């Protein structure tokens, strides 16, 4: 149904829901050594620290709610064939009502077995050293850490290749391979970037329109515009 819209979202999408971004001033990485809290090596060295870092994120997400940007994106589905490719591990797109969401970097409300990676469980409470899967192995967050494979990348790349319109919202595009996805779009594909501090401009993509606003403000206006164009 309708044209295909692919939406690449990052931490800025959820900033207006009170969840911190990673690289902004006062961002999540400010107080943490990234490799200590988000790498297999860091987990092996200090599992308590890593599990507590994600416990905090999980607790915070329990009380967060989708913002006007998330809600607006869900409305696009009445007029377009929409897929959201998110780097976010929160479930705010789901809770806002979007139906096709690819979580490139995993999901905070899931955990998996360290002994059987295919054993993935829904999980909303804390995990600690000693929290075991039904087969008796330690649980870990279902998150793609630095240095780990991004299993959903090929799927996301092929969907992006077929996009008629590409939206990019709230990502610094610093982290690969996710940032490279925008290059899969066919040359000439209309692109929109919503970010108060955009890292791309027309020099990068002649068909790019930059909306230098926060997601909760810029996305509803853009969505209304796209819906008008769909009819
Ligand atoms: N609305 C929209 N965008 C915003 C807002 C807002 N209210 N506030 C900040 N931003 C923008 C920033 O200007 C920046 O460009 O969101 C972007 C956040 O960038 P990062 O913190 O680098 O987050 P992201 O791009 O999602 O990081 C990618 O890095 O650490 C890893 O796995 C983690 O998925 C994450 C990946």
The residues that are catalytic are 105
Mean pLDDT of 72-90: 98
> Do β-strands 106-113 and 120-122 pair in parallel, antiparallel, or remain unpaired?
antiparallel
Would the CB of 89 count as within 6 Å of ligand 1?
A: no
Mean pLDDT of 70-77: 98
What integer pLDDT is reported at residue 31 of this predicted model?
A: 82
The pTM is what? 0.97
Nearest CA to ligand 1 atom 14: 172
What integer pLDDT is reported at residue 46 of this predicted model?
A: 96
Contact status, residue 147 vs residue 39, Cβ threshold 8 Å: yes
- If pLDDT is split at 50, 70 and 90, which confidence band does 54 have? very high
Would the CB of 57 count as within 6 Å of ligand 1?
A: no
Determine which of 26-40, 162-176, 178-192 has the lowest per-residue pLDDT on average.
26-40
In a 13 Å sphere around the CA of 80, the CA atoms on its Cβ side amount to 28
- If pLDDT is split at 50, 70 and 90, which confidence band does 164 have? very high
> Do β-strands 101-103 and 139-143 pair in parallel, antiparallel, or remain unpaired?
unpaired
Q: What is the dihedral of CA 128, 48, 38, 116, to 10 degrees?
A: -40
What integer pLDDT is reported at residue 1 of this predicted model?
A: 65
For the chain, percent of residues with pLDDT exceeding 70:
99
């Amino acid at each position: 149904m309708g044209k295909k819209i692919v939406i690449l979202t990052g931490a800025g999408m959820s900033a207006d829901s009170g969840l911190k971004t990673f690289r902004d001033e006062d961002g999540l990485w400010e107080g943490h050594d990234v490799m200590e809290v988000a790498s297999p090596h860091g987990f092996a060295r200090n599992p308590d620290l890593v599990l507590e870092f994600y416990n905090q994120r999980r607790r915070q997400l329990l009380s967060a709610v989708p913002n006007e940007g998330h809600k607006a994106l869900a409305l696009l589905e009445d007029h377009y064939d929409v897929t959201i490719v998110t780097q976010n591990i929160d479930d705010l797109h789901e809770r806002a009502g979007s139906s096709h969401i690819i979580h490139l970097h995993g999901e905070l409300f899931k955990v998996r077995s360290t002994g059987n990676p295919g054993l993935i469980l829904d999980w909303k409470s804390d995990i600690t050293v000693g929290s075991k899967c039904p087969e008796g192995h330690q649980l870990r967050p279902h998150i793609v850490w630095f240095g780990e494979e991004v299993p959903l990348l090929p799927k996301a790349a092929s969907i992006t290749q077929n996009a008629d319109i590409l939206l990019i919202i709230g990502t610094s595009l610093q982290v690969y391979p996710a940032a490279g996805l925008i290059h899969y779009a066919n040359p000439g594909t209309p692109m929109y970037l919503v970010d108060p501090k955009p890292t791309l401009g027309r020099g990068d993509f002649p068909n790019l329109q930059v909306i230098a606003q926060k997601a909760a403000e810029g996305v509803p206006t853009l969505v209304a515009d796209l819906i008008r164009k769909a009819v």
